[in-house]
Structure 1
Amino acid sequence: MKTRYLTEGCILSKEIRGLSDRPIMYEKTVLTAELIEALQAFFITEVSVDRTLIDGKRFFPKEVIDPELDQVEESSDFTELYLKSIQAYKRLFRNWQAGSKVDVAMIRLIMIPLLDKALEEPRNILMLHHYCNKEDYLFHHAISIGLIGGYIASKMKCSRADVYQLAIGGCLADCAMAKLPPKLLTKTESLTVEDYEEIHKHPIFSYKMIKDSSIIKDSVKTAILEHHGRLDGTGYPKSLKTKPMNLFSRIIAVADVFHAMTSERTYRGKQSPFKVLEMILHDEFGKFDIEVVKTLLSSFASISIGSSVKLNNGFIAEIMFIDASHQTKPIIKLKDSGQVINLSLTRELYIEEIL
């Protein structure tokens, strides 16, 4: 039985041994919430349990109750796993629209296997904008904030537990979008002042929807509330001006704006990751945590070497080299002519899309 499906009252049918071959927990141990959390902290993914709980009731694990989520976990290909996760999140979102409470445990079941797979193949994380479409933008955005945020946290040497926490929090940052008028979510024309006022309420409502969860830390709950705040005091909600944003807030803020600006939305076109990172780094200077931005930028740059790109003039090129001082303007080689161009020396040319 996978530990993520355990509930309080499960009884171990076999002892659990650690690396020293000494028992961590003995056979017939009755699992509490604390013990289950300890198993996950030790990265123990599977245990053997009785089919009867301590109260005498039959144990029906979530892997039996919700086979679709189990299918998400079983996928071996990142793209397949990602797209199944989108559909799983979409079903949950529809439930929230119908009035259901947010089940954070279900978000954890979606995000952890996907993040584990993504961290094995990090290039996939930085190419998430390719999957996004206008119709399902909200669902792609939620999953992508979690993945990008978790990736940044891992590169900043956060603990694996905090990386998981951040991924779950990032995924839930926009859960209150389910409470907005449906016509606002699918609007194709430019948003009005009134539309923006409505949308700007969502961090507060997202926080209210998850504030009683015992699965996520208080600092992550705060990050959900603060993820549209900015270090210079701008952003929203406007009431959050009395204390500095915590690290989780600052990471989710960058992950959110990076994916949003690189994705196709109903009322706005997408921009290239290099252009977006340059805008965040320079045009939006002072709004975002510089270390968080630089972590994402350097990771993106190193993974992008060898990638094919389309320039704004329509030419196709390959990224040959990225100078640490000009990470958004690499040296490229045109596919047709073989000409080498240093984009840091030309203003008229820039990367429009990574292929």
Structure 2
Amino acid sequence: MQVHPNQLVPGCIVMKAVAGKTQHPIVLNNTVIEEKHIEVLQHFNVKAIEVSERLVSGAIFKPKDREQEKEETETKPADFASMYRAAVQLYKKMFNQWQSGSPINLIELRKMLVPLFECIEDIQLDVFLLHKHASKEDYFFHHGISVAILSAHLAKKVGYHKEWIQVGLAGILADSGMARLDSSILQKEGSLTLAEYEVIKKHPTLSYRLVEHINALSKEVKLSILQHHERLDGSGYPLGVKEGKIHPFAKILAISDTYHAMTSERYYKKKQSPFKVIEEMLVLAHTKFDYVLLQTFAQTLLNYSIGTNVVLSDGREAVIVYVKPETPIRPIVRLIEDDEIISLKDKPALFIEKIISA
């Protein structure tokens, strides 16, 4: 029988290979349908598929009602956006207190951040689009909250099921030492001078000193705060240590910090596409960033992005339909204007410029 991909259920048996606008079939004959196959068929805009009248279990296949839609709610993302904005303002208030000499109140920080961390699985792609909330004027405070969320997210993804919240806290505390610097440097709208940059490079040490005696933070977290600007080849600061001496938590912070900075609009730098940023970071991975961590970060972005509407660097709109594990930042897309399928791997000059919507 012929059915629409939306009518399929796991266990359906494909009776005729599904052709697409590529050299190879999208789904082969005799394939037992899984959720991943349904998703791919939907994103390739397949209109019909030939399947057996019985499931692989032997039961009679009863196609889904085409009018049945999955319930989608904007409640959690909307709640998250409100929580995020409130957290940015609260962090700004806290930072001003640190500038006045007040100590870091870890209980208040946890109270502010943990509810955001608990939303990570619900907001999915929005984890990678936190920069859309940021403004040039309050970039520093958006950056702190976003690095905390991204760091907690990546830590959890790579298996830190107990420490992931602590890694998230490290993400916001990494720049706490900025409170001990001249505020004119933080508020400067133009590029920093070499002298000012040298001053900025002191902030990891100052951050470490601010958290050094907080007993509720582990030694590993404190070390990661000190090392979050270190790089694998020894080109980072403040110590210039190399890969073997950089704590894994610090490597997570380095990726989150760089990604959010490069994707955000700042006074002296334009924001870049998340896909372009990660592609550039992957080029530097073996000298600057932990490659396995960065691959996990990239793969998670693309897993969330399948089915997402995007704008390509040439201005055309497209939908991400498939991601090859070996080239996660250059997925296969379907053009909106004519349904043409393009593999960005084969078009090095073309890349995803902007995400429109999921």
Q: Which TM-score bucket, shorter chain as reference? A: 0.7 to 0.9
Alignment of structure 1 residues 193-208 onto 2, 5 Å: 193-208=194-209
User: 1:66 aligns to what?
Assistant: none
* Paired residue type of 1:306: G
CA contact (8 A) 1:272 1:351 kept: yes
Please provide the CA RMSD for this pair. 1.8
Q: Is the 8 A contact 1:281 1:293 kept in 2?
A: yes
- 8 Å CA contact 1:187–1:267 kept in 2: the answer is no
2:146 is paired with a residue of what secondary structure? helix
- The aligned amino acid for 1:193 is L
* Gapped regions of structure 2 (runs ≥ 5): 1-75
Cα distance in 2 between the residues matched to 1:156 and 1:207: 25
Q: How many residue pairs were aligned?
A: 281
Query: How many percent identity over aligned positions?
Result: 37
Contact 1:307 1:319 in 2 (8 A): yes
**Aligned-partner residue type, residue 138 of structure 1:** F
Q: Deviation string for 1:32-69 (max 9, x for gaps)? A: xxxxxxxxxxxxxxxxxxxxxxxxxxxxxxxxxxxxxx
Partner of 1:348: 349
Scaled by the length of structure 2, what TM-score is found?
Answer: 0.75
Aligned equivalents of 1:119, 1:198: Cα separation in 2: 38
Q: How does 1:103-252 map to 2 (within 5 A)?
A: 103-159=105-161, 161-238=162-239, 240=241, 244-252=245-253
Which residue pairs with 2:99 in the alignment?
Answer: 97
Shift of 1:205: 0.2
1:219 counterpart SS class: helix
1:315 matched residue in structure 2: 316
What is aligned with 2:89?
87
Q: Which amino acid aligns with 1:331?
A: I
Larger Rg: 2
Structure 1 residue runs of 5 or longer lacking an equivalent are 1-73
Q: 1:320 touches 1:330 (CA, 8 Å); kept in 2?
A: yes
CA displacement at 1:186 relative to structure 2: 2.3
Q: Deviations over 1:122-152 (max 9, x none)?
A: 3221211111111111111111111111111
3-state SS of paired residue (1:121): helix
8 Å CA contact 2:152, 2:165 repeated in 1: yes
- In structure 1, distance between residues paired with 2:273 and 2:77: 29
Deviation per CA, 1:89-123: give whole Å up to 9, x if none: 11101111222121122111111111011233332
Range moving further from structure 2, 161-170 or 220-229:
161-170
In the TM superposition, residue 340 of structure 1 has moved relative to its aligned partner by 2.0
* Equivalent residue, structure 1, for 2:40: none
DSSP 3-state at the match of 2:353: strand
Instruction: Give 2:177's aligned amino acid.
Output: A
Q: Secondary structure at the match of 2:163?
A: helix
TM-score, structure 1 as length reference: 0.75
